[in-house]
A = this chain, B = another copy of it.
Amino acid sequence: MQASNNIIRKAQIGDEFAIYEMICELALFEKALNEVINTPEALKIHLFDDHICDALVVEFENKIIGFALYYTSYSTWRGKCLYLEDFYVKPNFRGSGIGSLLFDEIVLIARTTGVKRMDWQVLDWNEAAIEFYKYKKATLDPEWINGRLYF
């Protein structure tokens, strides 16, 4: 597979099933599958009705093999930001450069919409991802702890 054989496009109605499957694959890798209480039906509403978030998908031979889900966030220091919540390419499709193209597409959206910063998080033991983000010249800051309350 060559990266050029893939199509990167905005998610559309019907894609929520493939995206949801990949959300679960990524959560499993991140040892947090038990935390997933979202559903494809709710995801459809969030993406296409309420527009709380947006997503790009990667298509290869009519199958969705990767996605990036993001939303507008806010920094009191910087102003409007873009938060990249999930970024994933199925394991069998890595190594062709498609992940890099997908990431660059999100950066382009961030630049085009005029946000001041693009944020995401990576697990401290996910070395492959950390190397990838270093290659993308990202700042990686381990000094912050995530605080959470669940409802």
Contact = CB atoms under 8 A, between A and B. Distances in A.
Interface string A101-132: 00000010011000111111111110000100
A97 to B, nearest CB: 19
Interface of A: 23, 26-27, 32, 35-38, 42-43, 46, 50, 52-53, 69, 71-80, 83, 85-86, 107, 110-111, 115-125, 130, 133, 136-151
Contact of A37 (B32, B38, B116, B122): B116
Contacts of A130: 145
A52 B46 CA distance: 17
A85 B80 CA distance: 12
A149 B121 contact: no
A147 B124 contact: no
A52 B143 CA distance: 26
